[in-house]
Chain A
Amino acid sequence: MTNREKLDQEELRRYARHLALPGFGMEGQQKLKAGRVLVIGAGGLGAPVLLYLAAAGVGRIGIVDFDRVEETNLQRQVLYTVQDVGRFKAEAARERLLALNPHISVEVFTVPFSRENALELIAPFDVVVDGTDNFPTRYLSNDACVLAGKPLVYGSIFRFEGQAAVFNHLLEDGQRSPNYRDIFPTPPPPELVPNCAEGGVLGVLPGIIGSIQANEAIKLLAGIGEPLAGKLLVMDAANLATRILKIPKTPGLEIRELIDYEQFCAPTPPAPVREISVQELQGLLAQNADIQLIDVREPYEYGIANLGGELIPPGEIPASAARIARDKMVVFYCRSGKRSAEAIRQLRQQEGLDNLCNLRGGILAWAREIDPSMKQY
C-alpha cells in the first residue's frame, strides 16, 4: 500500500459504512482514495455525480464547466443554492464538495471542453463522467475517451426519460466495450431533439440518472460489481419502465481523431417557406380578406396572447391536416415563427399544400410592431 491510499483515523471513521460493506471494505475504500475522476459538466447530472463521488471519498475529482449558476438551474442542480446564482458552477461546486469532504482534492477547469483541450484534460484521470447537455460535447467526450483509452460513464436525460451506460470499458479479453457511436453513429437533426431548456425536464430525473452514473464510476474505481458495459439503460420516470439493452460493437467502426463536432452536429439548413410580415397580415385582416389563420402553439400560450387564429398545437398537426383550407391563403403563426415554419414544411411534405404562408417573427413581432398592448412572453 502506498501512502496515497492510506486512510487516516478521521477517514476510517468517515468511511465506516463502506469498510463494513462486504465485498467493498478497506481495499475498495483505498481504491476510491487513489481514484481520479473527471466530470464533464456540473449541471443536472453532474450535481449528484459530484456529491456522491465526493461523499464516497474519491481522492481526486476534476470538474470541467464554464457555465455560471442560473436561477432556472436550482430546480434540479442540487449542488447550488440561491447564493451561488451568477458564480461559476465549477467554483461553487468545488467549495460545496470540500465542505462535504475535506479529505479529497477538487480541481476546476472553467473552460469549454473542446477538441483542443479534451485529450489533455482527461489524461490525468482514471474515469470520465459525461454530464454534458448537448450532442457536440457528447460525441467529443466519447471520441476523446476512446482515443485516450479511458472508460466513460455516460448519462443523458430528456423530459421524463434517462439513459446511462459505461462506454469503452477495458474487458478481460483486452477489448474495449462498445461506445456511444456503436449505438448512435450520427447525431439527430437538432431541430428534432429539443434540449432541456426547450423540452423541459423533470427535476428529480437527473438525480436518478446521475446517481446511477456515480454508482458506475464507484464500481469501476473500486473494481466491484458488474459495470453497465455493453449495455444501455433506458428509463422512463413517468412509469418507471426500465430496459437494459444489450449493445454490440459495430464492426468496422473506428475512431481515429477528434473532428469538428459543431459541424458534425450542425442542422441541415431548413427548406425556405413563404412568409408575410405582420404589417401585410394587418392589411389583409383590415380588408377582411378571405384567409385562414392557424395558431401553432400550445393551449397555455394561446391563453397568454393570440391573434384569433384556429389553435392546432404542433403535436396535432399531422392528424389535423383536414382542417387546413386548400382553396385560399393560410397564414400560420406561433410565438417567434419557428414552429409555424416547421408546421408548414411538415404539411407541404405530408399533403403537398402550397397555399401556406408563415407570419415572420410571429406573435412577438405583432406585439412589437402592431399592438404593444399584447403580452410578450
Chain B
Amino acid sequence: MQVRILAFGIARDILGAGNLSLDLPQGATVAELKARLCRDYPSFEKLASLAIALNAEYASDSQAISTGDEVAIIPPVSGG
C-alpha cells in the first residue's frame, strides 16, 4: 500500500525530501515503518526521539497504518 510521508526538521535531510511516497505491506504498523526507514536510511536510527503522526494525530508504535494515510515525521528542534 502507498502512504504519504511528510518529513519535518532533520528527518527531511535524512530522507532527502520533505514529501515522499512509500510502499508498505498492507497493515504495517508505525514500528514497522520506523524499522523500514532505519534500514533504508541508516542515520534515521540515531533519531531516538521522534513524533510520528497519522493523519494529524500522534501515533504510538503499535498503531496500524492504512492506505492513503498521511504520516508526519516530526523530530524535535531546538532553535529560538
Contact = CB atoms under 8 A, between A and B. Distances in A.
Interface of A: 41, 43-46, 130-135, 138, 155-158, 161-163, 183-189, 192-196, 199, 201, 206, 232, 234, 236, 241, 243-248, 315, 318-319, 346, 349-350
A157 B79 contact: yes
Contacts of B74: 163, 232, 234, 245
What is the predominant secondary structure among interface residues of chain A facing chain B?
mixed
A185 B75 CA distance: 11
Given A161-B9, A192-B10, A236-B18, A245 B56 contact: yes
Contacts of B10: 158, 188, 192-194
Interface in B6-26: 6, 8-10, 13, 16, 18
A161 B28 CA distance: 29
A70 B62 CA distance: 47
Interface in B21-63: 41-43, 46-51, 53, 56-58
Nearest to A238: B18
A5 to B, nearest CB: 32
Contacts of A318: 41-43
Nearest to B80: A133
B72 A187 contact: no
Contact residues on B (Cβ < 8 Å of other chain), bracket: 20 to 34
Given A196-B79, A232-B51, 15 more contacts: A131-B80, A134-B78, A156-B77, A156-B78, A157-B80, A187-B49, A189-B46, A192-B47, A193-B77, A193-B78, A206-B80, A236-B18, A245-B51, A245-B58, A318-B43
Contact of B58 (A133, A183, A236, A315): A183
Nearest to A199: B79
Contacts of A246: 56-58
A247 B80 contact: no
B42 A349 contact: yes
B48 A189 contact: yes
B8 A161 contact: yes
A8 to B, nearest CB: 35
A58 to B, nearest CB: 20
A135 B10 CA distance: 15
B55 to A, nearest CB: 10
Contacts of B68: none
Contact of A187 (B41, B53, B58, B76): B76
B78 A247 contact: no
Interface centre among B16, B58, B78 (most CB of A within 10 A): B78
Contacts of B8: 161, 234, 236
6 contacts: A41-B80, A43-B80, A155-B80, A188-B49, A318-B43, A346-B43
Nearest to A44: B80
